[in-house]
Structure 1
């Protein structure tokens, strides 16, 4: 079998920088240290100040070398990290020399973490958490990613998988060893109870309102209202720039325009939408349809009303969205405060601070409404839905008395979906549960 490549990459930010970290992992680490480091291979987990040379003996830089011997390393392999001065010439020289060595190449995106996953250092959910932690821009995203990296979400998934493994082991015994004294004829009753309990736990997780995905990707706020209510002006004020075209002509905004903000430690996407009205203009009518669809997918709807115009009723939205009623153009009139949650002037900024604080408080409350850990990716939600469907099928088959063989097949399918959440699919777990719990073959 061909020896595995040794990989290297710049693990810190692009140069120039104060320090550049070059990470190396694989079977050639010991040889690399012997050829390039004046100190030779450092003692494991002890930083060594050393000169780094190229193949001609010319110095690349003086820096710190840190060695971790596998499997006690991030990737499970021998790894070497070089802490160098962060100039572009230093980094380019080091990587050029490394990749010229036999069996050494630049790492592909995510390859260090993939090797860690393959070595059993972390599961797939934790690996996704590392990616989220690297990309985190808010306190909420960082906290959620840290919980995932530390195994909080994995522990929940693993618990369900273990429960399912036990159920499958019990059913397998009923199928393969119906005459064994260890198997009770009334075993289907507790099996139904355990199946129902597991389905209920998964339903609770799926009923989180998508909070984990919202924290990761951003909460959605749609700005709705009649034409010329001041929606685009409000969006520009929130963005701090001219993100949307503002004119006195009704129907200027035809498509959804989004800007990104951070409020209450969470990412919030504000969407300017076409004015809501009946129109024969085909393009504007499509804009209105998109406005309604955007509001249907939003976490909060700002119903913006022109305070200088006659009062208007709330928009007829075909869903139960949370609506925040806001009167605009307070610089042109003095509307009654009783008919709105906020009164603002997007042109002058009056009332904007209070509006932003209210939105931030609502988003923060929603983010904290579900107990962590929560589902963080669409991949997780889809697998749980598929696993839940298989469990429901197993329960229905069990209640109909159609045979344990069909129940076992549904449970195996559910187990594959739950195992895929962690990147593990292993029938040996089922075999181990059968032998340990039922003493078969003793």
Structure 2
């Protein structure tokens, strides 16, 4: 599929910069090469130094030009990439020239990647992975996005879909050439075993979404404890800046304060909370309730104990006890003890956090990375479960078709028009 217009955009970073890369894609590319470079054409996939000229034949800049003929390009169309000096004036002059040419128009956000999808160069999961790769903040996010961008998800889902269609075709063929009463029991037993086995594999795959969610959204750590236990001091120490107010007055922290950290290549969201105690102050009561709510939903609670106040009870999934202010008192060797004044024990705390993160973010196989994937996978499993419960092979065949369609929507093989605008609008212009 080829778009009727040719699009162009700055594909590199914000200007000014050392180099500006302008990408042009569409059917008009061969015709505009001589207009811009003065050359009749360019050798495919070879960087050529050319003088880019405006409508009066005056030079705009000397640039490296690379021509990618269709279909061997990112978009599947004819593509020209121009690498100029990264000044705003140079880029503006080139854009002014491109805007004068017939059939060319500025690209909207995600337009190049959408054309790559429409021309069969990538599937939807790879497009989403490219989007995730562009905004990746940590090494774990980069590795997750890269593993999906290379087509691993597409191959997995297409393989499952092929298995479903194969079972469906065998059922349809048997129904076409016999009465249902003539279908041997062993045929039905074999079909149900295959369906159950496939449903089990998809359920196992779906379990991996929680890992992807933690990698992309961040592992959530709540720092909790009694007032003045050293929570805000620990937050400031980890963030290497003063993000929370530290005083000797109990109840200083009233609201939740969150910082984003990179620990061992993983995104971690650390939340400072109000000191947990019984209070008559209505504002502090709100802060205490918010602290308990945050603790209940956190992936990990660091429960600080300064040895002065009673350690509060916690309703949390995972609690790691930490003795604070170790420079001012004796601490047990069995529990992590830290001092934000001297830095003592921080390395031990970070090592323990890294161990926990390793166990919660380790990816052994391809995992679904978006809620859209989860929805379609759950739809597929529901259809497979209905197929297993049905005694009518016509209904089994129909449920298998529904399950296969759910997998097809994951990769964009079928019925995705309503998704395109939402998915590709999330890209930056030039991608």
Partner residue of 1:325 out of 321, 326, 329:
321
| Counterpart position of 1:118 | 118
2:404 pairs with 1:415? yes
Gap change, CA 1:46 and 1:334, over 3 Å in 2: same
CA-to-partner distance for each residue in 1:258-316, whole Å, 9 max, x for gaps? 10111111111111122233445554444334333333333322111123x15536x23
2:338 pairs with 1:337? no
Count of aligned pairs between the two proteins: 415
Describe the SS at the equivalent of 2:158.
helix
- Kept after mapping to 1: 8 A contact 2:2/2:77: no
Gap change, CA 1:266 and 1:3, over 3 Å in 2: closer
| Counterpart position of 2:194 | 194
Gap change, CA 1:393 and 1:275, over 3 Å in 2: farther
**Structure showing greater relative contact order (alpha-carbon pairs closer than 8 Å, 6 or more residues apart):** 2
- Kept after mapping to 1: 8 A contact 2:205/2:367: yes
- Kept after mapping to 2: 8 A contact 1:18/1:86: yes
Report the TM-score when normalising by structure 1.
0.87
What's the offset of the Cα at 1:377?
A: 1.7
Aligned counterparts of 1:293 and 1:419: Cα–Cα separation in 2: 39
What's the offset of the Cα at 1:337?
A: 2.8
| Counterpart position of 1:378 | 371
Gap change, CA 1:287 and 1:166, over 3 Å in 2: farther
Aligned counterparts of 1:109 and 1:391: Cα–Cα separation in 2: 38
Describe the SS at the equivalent of 2:81.
strand
Partner residue of 2:343 out of 349, 357, 360:
349
Report the TM-score when normalising by structure 2.
0.89
What's the offset of the Cα at 1:115?
A: 0.5
CA-to-partner distance for each residue in 1:195-231, whole Å, 9 max, x for gaps? 1001110111122361122222322211121222221
| Counterpart position of 1:138 | 138
| Counterpart position of 1:393 | 386
CA root-mean-square deviation: 2.5
| Counterpart position of 2:40 | 40
| Counterpart position of 1:425 | 414
Aligned counterparts of 1:259 and 1:302: Cα–Cα separation in 2: 15
Structure 1: unaligned runs, 5 residues or longer = 427-442
- Kept after mapping to 2: 8 A contact 1:33/1:40: yes
- Kept after mapping to 1: 8 A contact 2:209/2:368: no
- Kept after mapping to 2: 8 A contact 1:65/1:80: yes
- Kept after mapping to 2: 8 A contact 1:73/1:79: yes
- Kept after mapping to 2: 8 A contact 1:251/1:284: yes
2:254 pairs with 1:277? no
